[in-house]
Structure 1
Amino acid sequence: MGKNSIDPLPHALLPAGIRSRIVENVNGLDVHILEAGEAPGLAGTILLLHGFPELAFCWRRIMPLLAERGYHVIAPDQRGYGRTTPRPVSYDDAVEPYSILNLAGDMVALLGALGLNAVDAVIGHDFGSLVAGTCALVRPDLFHKLALLGTPFAGAPTLTTPLGTPLANDPIHAALLALAPPRRHYLLYYAGPEANDDMWKCPQGVSDMLRGYYHHKSADWPNNHPHPLGGWSAEQLARMPSYYIMPANQTMAEIAAAHMPSKGEVARCTWLSEADLEIVAGEFARTGFQGGMQWYRSAVRGDMARGLGLFAGRQVQCPTLFVAGEGDWAAYQAPGAIDVMSARLAMKPIKPRFIRGAGHWLQQEQPALLGDMLADFLADTSRSR
């Protein structure tokens, strides 16, 4: 990646209480972070890890709430994203740096660069949930509590479970194409060579593309009614919305355009103002989306499973929370994953929690409810230690 040649976010663009800076020499990166609260925080330090297509800025509504409770809160733009990535990533760039173990290694290195011996909690959303879970799994000395938002993390395989077929080679793709109408899995699409340009250079522009995409996966879209699926079959997967199981002849930008909210719906959206959207869209307009899609390429070709195979049989030792929005299909997109996580991931069974009025973007859609839930979890587990 080389040296970072971009400035932090201007102070005027940030909500009150949030500051921006670049942290140098982090596992080969110069990492852009947002911070809230004083360091060291009286209640501890919290590390927040975003998913796709988001940034550190997408934690802006919850960071001040956690800081008010005495926490020092840190949210980085992760590898491939935002101001950690001054230049666009190419599809031809190496995929190896985006393995789950190296992404977790970025966070270990970030703690070192910040002079932190540990954090009180690591909290991840979407793909960031898998990075957060990996951090807690492999470095329990550094990450003392874990909260997973939206996307379940199954953890390491058992000692007796062979590694599964990489998703790229799974016969599910032929079965999806055989449906009427033909479908394709969004993970395979994101891992392909066209997805970045489809979204980055789309006719409606990055801002409208993201507005439609965010709306489609939020509780504002009235057709998000997730439920457990009956199994890993094309017919069952096709029950999910088109942002997960796509029409084979459509791009993700076309799907977002088909679900663009009306002007009235945009005006009523309390969790994503036009000004905030323009900040996020401006970053993706500069970098493109390939940096985040390298994560999907790594996962689809089986790097995640192979990397976690080294830790076969290990469980997460720290207190663990899983929270999703009631309107979030991410909890169910991999059939059975939430049950495997609940039963096997941690030393104690995990009881999933759900937040009403939230879809996939719960830290933006319902920050107060999520903030209370996280604060209660952190306080309760501190008292029980």
Structure 2
Amino acid sequence: MNAIEHRTVIVNGLPTHLAESGSGPLVILLHGFPELWYSWRHQLPALAAAGYHAVAPDLRGHGRTAAPPDAADYGMAAYVDDVLGLLDVLGESTAVLVGHDWGMRTAWAAAESHPARFPAIVALSVPHQARTPAPPTEQLRAWARDRLNWMLYFQEPVADSDLSADVARTLRLMLYGLSGDAGELGVRLLTTLPADAVLLDEIPEPPGPLPWLSDADLSYYVSEYQRTGFRGGLNRYRNADRDWHRLPTLGTGVLPQPTLFAGGAYDTAVRFNDLSAMRTLVPNLHEPMVIPGCGHWIQQERPDEINEAVLAFLDKVG
């Protein structure tokens, strides 16, 4: 088993923590929220054993990477620049991008704006979406009406205090509530709660230990978020409209790269999206992979299946 090593490098002036394993062609893995490099703990050694240099950073504002104080510093352009800067720090001209959740949105943006540097893409849980006709929160307010919407809730300062009040409870409930172990609960949490619902109070405690999340796994997340709070991840959400205004071409170009998409059948991003519609802007999309019984945290819930699919894809695209 290849060991996971850790170091801090300076990317665009920002001290950035990396977890990495192996040597060979570079594969960069971008995590989502509320996650960390640790979300890729199963993929790093598997990629290394197959002959790749696998690198999973803590993204800006998360974990052991520095957190800029200004919310405007968490725009998509900054995250894309961080990925490009990481390539330069590692002395590489290209890398395969693997992303999940908000990390996947960054991967889509980087791959669209710099296709020569990212010749292949692995997309987990978040399909590519074309530019919306109006700013995201405007569209979401029209869609949600009298229902609670997570992205809109995360725009408000109350989210910071709610999530930080009991970090262990927050992470335990969020990781369970959107997992395949919770079944249809995740769909209800994301689509049917009334606008005045208290988000965490709507998520029941898991009935027992989750098969994919040990006490030690949860403790790692808790210890990191107790130290940093959730502001970094929330600031990413709070730049959605700013990104729409500042990056008017994002979501309008064709991505020529070979692309693998995998998602969980209980993930609303999979269930309520027409995955075939991605082919309009991602013409070299392989047949999408939907895993029955799996939720949003796909690479943690089903690591063996994801590792097998990713390695087969990488072998195919060379």
- State yes or no: 1:19 paired with 2:43: no
- Contact kept in structure 1, 2:37 and 2:56, CA below 8 Å: yes
From 224, 234, 245, the counterpart of 1:283: 224
- State yes or no: 1:314 paired with 2:314: no
| Other-structure match for 1:28 | 13
- State yes or no: 1:115 paired with 2:84: no
TM score, norm. by length of structure 1: 0.77
Q: CA deviation at 1:16?
A: 6.2
| Other-structure match for 2:60 | 79
- State yes or no: 1:215 paired with 2:184: no
Q: For residues 94-130 of structure 1, give each alpha carbon's deviation from its aligned partner in whole angstroms, at most 9, with x where no partner exists.
A: 33322222211110001111212211x1000011111
> Residue 298 and residue 339 in structure 1: after superposition, are their counterparts in 2 closer, same or farther (change >3 A)?
farther
Amino acid at match of 1:80: G
- Contact kept in structure 2, 1:213 and 1:260, CA below 8 Å: no
| Other-structure match for 1:340 | 277
Identity of aligned residues (%): 33
Structure number with greater Rg is 1
- State yes or no: 1:248 paired with 2:185: no
Q: For residues 299-337 of structure 1, give each alpha carbon's deviation from its aligned partner in whole angstroms, at most 9, with x where no partner exists.
A: 1x2x3333442357521121111110122222245x55x
- Contact kept in structure 2, 1:315 and 1:346, CA below 8 Å: yes
How many Å separate the matches in 2 of 1:129 and 1:323? 12
Give the SS at the match of 1:140: coil
Q: Which runs of 5+ in 2 are unaligned?
A: none
How many Å separate the matches in 2 of 1:364 and 1:60? 8
Aligned pairs for 1:170-185 (under 5 A) are 170=139, 173=141, 176-178=144-146, 183-185=147-149
TM score, norm. by length of structure 2: 0.92
- Contact kept in structure 2, 1:150 and 1:331, CA below 8 Å: yes
Q: CA deviation at 1:260?
A: 1.2
Amino acid at match of 1:33: L
How many Å separate the matches in 2 of 1:18 and 1:99? 29
Bigger mean CA deviation after superposition, 368-377 or 245-254: 245-254
Q: For residues 3-46 of structure 1, give each alpha carbon's deviation from its aligned partner in whole angstroms, at most 9, with x where no partner exists.
A: xxxxxxxxxxxx9611111112x1231110100113xx1xx111
Number of residue-to-residue matches in the alignment: 318
Coordinate RMSD, CA, aligned: 2.2
| Other-structure match for 1:95 | 71
Give the SS at the match of 2:277: helix
- Contact kept in structure 1, 2:148 and 2:197, CA below 8 Å: no
Q: CA deviation at 1:349?
A: 4.8
| Other-structure match for 1:4 | none
> Residue 176 and residue 314 in structure 1: after superposition, are their counterparts in 2 closer, same or farther (change >3 A)?
closer
How many Å separate the matches in 1 of 2:169 and 2:231? 18
Q: Which runs of 5+ in 1 are unaligned?
A: 1-14, 158-162, 226-239
How many Å separate the matches in 2 of 1:196 and 1:315? 37
Q: CA deviation at 1:224?
A: 5.3
- State yes or no: 1:323 paired with 2:308: no
- Contact kept in structure 2, 1:20 and 1:33, CA below 8 Å: yes
How many Å separate the matches in 2 of 1:241 and 1:19? 39
- Contact kept in structure 2, 1:215 and 1:221, CA below 8 Å: yes
| Other-structure match for 1:353 | 289
How many Å separate the matches in 1 of 2:244 and 2:138? 14
- Contact kept in structure 2, 1:65 and 1:368, CA below 8 Å: no
From 235, 249, 260, the counterpart of 2:205: 260
